[in-house]
Amino acid sequence: MQINRRDFLKKAGIAGVSLIAGGMLYKVFKGDDIISVTDQSNVNTRWAMLIDMKKCAGKPDCTDCIFACNKGHNVPEIADIRREIKWIWKADFESVFPENTNEYTDASVRSQNVIVACNHCENPPCVRVCPVGATWKRADGIVMMDHHRCIGCRYCMAACPYGSRSFNWKDPRRILSRNDINAEYPVRTKGVVEKCNFCAERIDTGKQPLCVEACTERAILFGNIADSGSEIRRALKGKHVLRRKAELGTNPEIYYLI
Amino acid sequence: MLEKVLTGKKHYWMLIGGLLALMIPGIFFYVKQIQEGLAVTGMSRDVSWGLYISQFTFLVGVAASAVVVVIPYYLHNIKQFGRLVILGEFLAVSAVFMCLLFIFADMGQPFRILNVLLYPSPNSLMFWDTVALLGYLVLNLVIAWTALSAEYKGVPVPGWITPLIYLSIPWAISIHTVTAFLYAGLPGRPLWLTSIMGARFIASAFASGPSLLILLCLIVRKYTSFDPGIPQLKAVARIVIYALIINLFFIILEFFTAYYSGIPSHRHSLEYLYFGLTGNGSLVWFMRISLVLGVAGLAGLLFQSKRENTTLLTVSLIAVFFSVWLDKGLGLVVGGFIPTPFESITEYSPAITEIAVSLSIFAVGFLILTMLYKIVITIRVSNEG
Amino acid sequence: MYDGMKIIPGIILFIVLVSFPVWYDSLNGSPELSDPELTHGKKYCVMPKEFMRSNHMVLLHEWRDSVVRDGNRGKVKAGSEAYDKSLSNSCMKCHASKKNFCDRCHGRLDVNPACWDCHNPPEETAHAN
């Protein structure tokens, strides 16, 4: 059989493309990292947070939870709002709950600081859009980030309705001073997205999140909302609570007690 | 056929040299961006996509619009489009190539790009967009190259290419629909959360892409001895008119829904883009100029159809092209991020890095286009001569 | 063959250049790659020395995936002790100098793993330097 260079190149090209396409198809169908919309009704663990805004408002200048988180997770403090990295922070009531503010809302309520972080949605848009599975939802509901895999496309930032995600516009090591770094927890590299992880590294070893532990007012309650006997469920009983933009169907797991 | 790229007259080499020169500054700025991170761009935590993704979005439209010459020629057997088809397909090839480069330029970790293939995630529209774009690139390259080879050798186009041509038609529509879906499926961005996004993308693409194709053909006609034919170009211009009218109609629809329903979140982004919101409005004049250019371009196109000379046609097409570019290649992406989820406003303007890198990518695209067109023109001229 | 006078020398030149590291080393003798420094009194690693030499990166990737992606933070046995699956918090506690442990080989082989972009190396003590 005679085969000339042209045909060989053509066939090699076709074979190469089919091999890559076949590999991708196999991965897609094997469904390794694909999130599936599972029935949430018989889940045993759903981590959730209840923030008592009254207790929090008692100390308007307090930043204990934010400080503990930043320190523990090596979150750099950046003054330029365009480059900021935030895991947990404060915003005024009016901008956190615009739909719950009206003309007659007291100025004190309007400007009251509310603690915000990633809501660890039950139905997270960020997870839906990630092209590489670098952000995904664990079985216990925590929306995780794999900074090793993130390609920095920032699609998740466009998808998040809560502005909970931050991008490392530059190398955070250039901002963090060596003495401030908690050596036990990694920093991030430039070009990846990050956000609150509900302290997965602590929860997995039976500890409470850093912000919860740091709050002297005990304004943040953390627990398993799927367990009807849990403290958070008892605290929720008979109370009217708010969740951010609940109408979007994301089912946020941070509840606010007003 | 490739060897045709290596010979040419002075004009050709000047164009090649000019495009290569245009690439140089962007390369330096890109190296800087790799070293420093995306902090060298104008993007921010709040406006996390900017010029790069905007250009990507716009150029997917240009790529998809090749179908405007493919459908009449292959489906309706209108022979006069035969002189344009390969030019349209090669424009698509270079546009898709630029799209891929813009995505690459925007990535925070570009060296991890293969993760997209290693961890394919069908739940992400980005995955489907990658598949659609790569597939479209291959389809157009294979179809145009095969047809051109046949023309070169003076033999009929092989039959196996026909199913690929038919496949390329829905594929063209799908690349731009999927690109619209990138935006239209996000819950927290009311400007993008509109079901006519896909339709509007295709309308604006069919206005801007063919405009560019006609302009390129007019340049080819002026500087080479190949004439794509004025009646053919005017026929494509009619398609531009329809698409442009539909696009302007869709803009009215967007305004109606946002303003008549009175839902603040749906109104805010449009208000920011066209009127300014709480004193912020760095895009207001661009968006207004876009509207004016769109309407003026439409009027120009309607009036030129009876005229012999091509000046009004040229000017109108330039107006249409830039109208859509300002709207889709600037306002649409940035506007979606403003106001932020906290109802605050962070404005965006591209940094010099983004402008230089974008120019570089355009230079690469037009270099590819120039070389592909050179092959087509050389073959046609020698066949006809 | 056309242009044989150009092609054959070209191929030879190519092979000579590509095999540069091989013949350069065989002519000059490759420098001794001294054992990486261990600054601890422990007897057991989580895996035998031979395995770690060639496969430490595989092990680290497995740990990474198991901890980050599967949330599996169980400990790993080594002799009578148990360690977290962690580069900074386990490996580097025994092999306490990045300079004298990691970099010695990596530098020689010119590999630049991205580990240290994010993970924190132990502080280099005066002794280690």
Q: How far, in Å, CA of A194 to CA of A135, rounded?
A: 10
> What is the per-residue pLDDT for A126?
95
pLDDT interval class at C76 (50, 70, 90): confident
CATH of residue B169's domain is: 1.20.1630.10
To the nearest 5 percent, what fractions of chain B are helix, strand and coil?
Answer: 75, 0, 25
> What is the per-residue pLDDT for A103?
87
Contact partners, residue A161, CB within 8 Å, separation at least 6? A125, A245, A248, A250, B186, B187, B188, B189, B341
- H or E segment and range at residue A115: strand A113-117
pLDDT interval class at A180 (50, 70, 90): confident
pLDDT interval class at C4 (50, 70, 90): confident
CB C71 within 8 A of CB A200: yes
Q: How far, in Å, CA of A61 to CA of A112, rounded?
A: 11
A154: left (phi over 0), alpha (psi -120 to 50) or beta: left
Give the minimum alpha-carbon distance from C85 to chain A in angstroms, rounded to a whole number.
12
**Nearest partner of B299 among B248, B347, B363, B232, judged by Cα:** B248
- The rounded percent of chain A whose pLDDT value lies above 90 is 66
Per-residue pLDDT for A26 more than 90?
no
Q: A196-215 b/e with 16+ CB inside 10 Å = b?
A: bbbbbbbbbeeeebbbbbbb
Give the minimum alpha-carbon distance from A21 to chain B in angstroms, rounded to a whole number.
9
Taking CB atoms and an 8 Å cutoff, what residues of chain B touch A111? Answer: none
> What is the per-residue pLDDT for B73?
86
Taking CB atoms and an 8 Å cutoff, what residues of chain A touch B104? Answer: none
Q: What are the strands of the beta sheet with A47-52, ordered from one edge?
A: A220-224, A47-52, A254-257, A241-242
> What is the per-residue pLDDT for C39?
63
The set of chains that have 3 or more CB pairs under 8 A with C is A
**Contact between A155 and B182 using a beta-carbon 8 Å cutoff:** yes
**Nearest partner of B330 among B16, B9, B51, B82, judged by Cα:** B51
> What is the per-residue pLDDT for C31?
65
Contact partners, residue C79, CB within 8 Å, separation at least 6? C42, C43, C44
Residue with token string 């038609």:
B169
Dihedral over alpha carbons B22, B112, B329, B45 (to 10 degrees): -110
Q: Which two tokens stand for residue A116?
A: 């915000």
User: How far does chain C reach from its first CA to its final CA, in angstroms?
Assistant: 60
> What is the per-residue pLDDT for C3?
82
Please state, in angstroms and as integers, the Cα–Cα distance from residue A248 to each residue in A197, B35, B126, B322, following that order. 22, 39, 22, 35
Please indicate if any CB of chain A lies within 8 Å of the CB of C53.
no
Q: How far, in Å, CA of B207 to CA of B240, rounded?
A: 5
Q: Identify the weakest region by mean pLDDT among A104-118, A132-146, B74-88.
A: B74-88
Dihedral sign (CA A42, A44, A49, A54) = positive
pLDDT interval class at A29 (50, 70, 90): low
**Contact between C122 and A183 using a beta-carbon 8 Å cutoff:** yes
pTM assigned to the model? 0.90
Taking CB atoms and an 8 Å cutoff, what residues of chain A touch B182? Answer: 155
**Contact between B120 and A28 using a beta-carbon 8 Å cutoff:** yes
Residues in chain B, overall count = 385
Please give the backbone phi and psi of residue B243, each rounded to the nearest 5 degrees, phi first. Answer: -65, -40
Q: How far, in Å, CA of B24 to CA of B315, rounded?
A: 30
DSSP assignments along B283-313, one per residue = THHHHHHHHHHHHHHHHHHHHHTT-SSSHHH
> What is the per-residue pLDDT for A34?
45
Reduced to 3 states (helix: H, G, I; strand: E, B; else coil), residue A257 is strand
User: How far does chain B reach from its first CA to its final CA, in angstroms?
Assistant: 18
Residue of C nearest to A133 (CA): C69
Per-residue pLDDT for A33 more than 50?
no
Domain residues for B279? 2-384
Reduced to 3 states (helix: H, G, I; strand: E, B; else coil), residue B280 is strand
Q: How far, in Å, CA of C98 to CA of C63, rounded?
A: 19
- B 137-156 residues inside an 8 A Cβ radius of A: 138
List per-residue pLDDT tens for chain B, 385 residues long.
878 888 888 889 999 999 999 999 999 999 999 999 999 999 999 999 999 999 999 999 999 988 888 888 888 888 888 888 899 999 999 999 999 999 999 999 999 999 998 898 889 999 999 989 999 999 999 999 999 999 888 888 888 989 999 999 999 999 999 999 999 999 999 999 999 999 999 999 999 999 999 999 999 998 888 888 888 899 899 999 999 999 999 999 999 999 999 999 899 999 999 999 988 889 999 999 999 999 999 999 998 877 777 889 999 999 999 999 999 999 999 999 999 999 999 999 999 999 999 999 999 999 999 999 999 999 988 887 6
CB A152 within 8 A of CB A193: yes
> What is the per-residue pLDDT for A19?
83
Please indicate if any CB of chain C lies within 8 Å of the CB of A175.
no
For the beta carbon of residue A176, count every other beta carbon within 10 angstroms. Answer: 17
Task: Report the interhelical angle of B82-106 vs B51-64 (nearest 10°).
Answer: 160
pLDDT interval class at A37 (50, 70, 90): very low
CA atoms within 13 A on the CB side of B18: 9
Looking at residue A174, what DSSP letter applies? G
Per-residue pLDDT for C129 more than 50?
no
DSSP assignments along A27-78, one per residue = HHHHTSS-------TT-S--EEEEEEHHHHHTSTT--HHHHHHHHHHTPPP-
Q: How far, in Å, CA of A223 to CA of A230, rounded?
A: 7
Q: Which two tokens stand for residue A45?
A: 């663990």
CB B319 within 8 A of CB B300: yes
Q: Identify the weakest region by mean pLDDT among A146-155, B349-358, C98-107.
A: C98-107
Please indicate if any CB of chain A lies within 8 Å of the CB of B111.
no
ipTM of predicted assembly, 2 dp: 0.91
Q: How far, in Å, CA of B244 to CA of B290, rounded?
A: 12
**Contact between B48 and A154 using a beta-carbon 8 Å cutoff:** yes
> What is the per-residue pLDDT for B293?
96
Contact partners, residue B70, CB within 8 Å, separation at least 6? B85, B88, B89, B165, B168, B169, B172
> What is the per-residue pLDDT for B279?
85
Q: How far, in Å, CA of B291 to CA of B276, rounded?
A: 16
Q: B243-265 b/e with 16+ CB inside 10 Å = b?
A: bbbbbbebbeebeeebeeeeeeb
pLDDT interval class at A38 (50, 70, 90): very low
Q: How far, in Å, CA of B185 to CA of B164, rounded?
A: 30
CB B340 within 8 A of CB A163: yes
Q: How far, in Å, CA of B33 to CA of B101, rounded?
A: 14
Query: How many structural domains compose chain B?
Result: 1
Best residue of A151, A245, A248 to probe chain B, by most B CBs closer than 10 Å: A151
> What is the per-residue pLDDT for B373?
93
> What is the per-residue pLDDT for C36?
66
pLDDT interval class at C128 (50, 70, 90): very low
Reduced to 3 states (helix: H, G, I; strand: E, B; else coil), residue A4 is coil
**Contact between C118 and A188 using a beta-carbon 8 Å cutoff:** yes
- The rounded percent of chain C whose pLDDT value lies above 70 is 85
Dihedral over alpha carbons C104, C107, C112, C117 (to 10 degrees): 60
Best residue of B2, B124, B197 to probe chain A, by most A CBs closer than 10 Å: B124
**Nearest partner of C41 among C84, C74, C77, C79, judged by Cα:** C79
C4-27 mean pLDDT = 88
C9-25 mean pLDDT = 89
Taking CB atoms and an 8 Å cutoff, what residues of chain A touch C88? Answer: 183-184, 186
Residue of C nearest to A186 (CA): C119
The residue ranking higher by pLDDT, B355 or C40, is: B355
CB A113 within 8 A of CB A56: yes
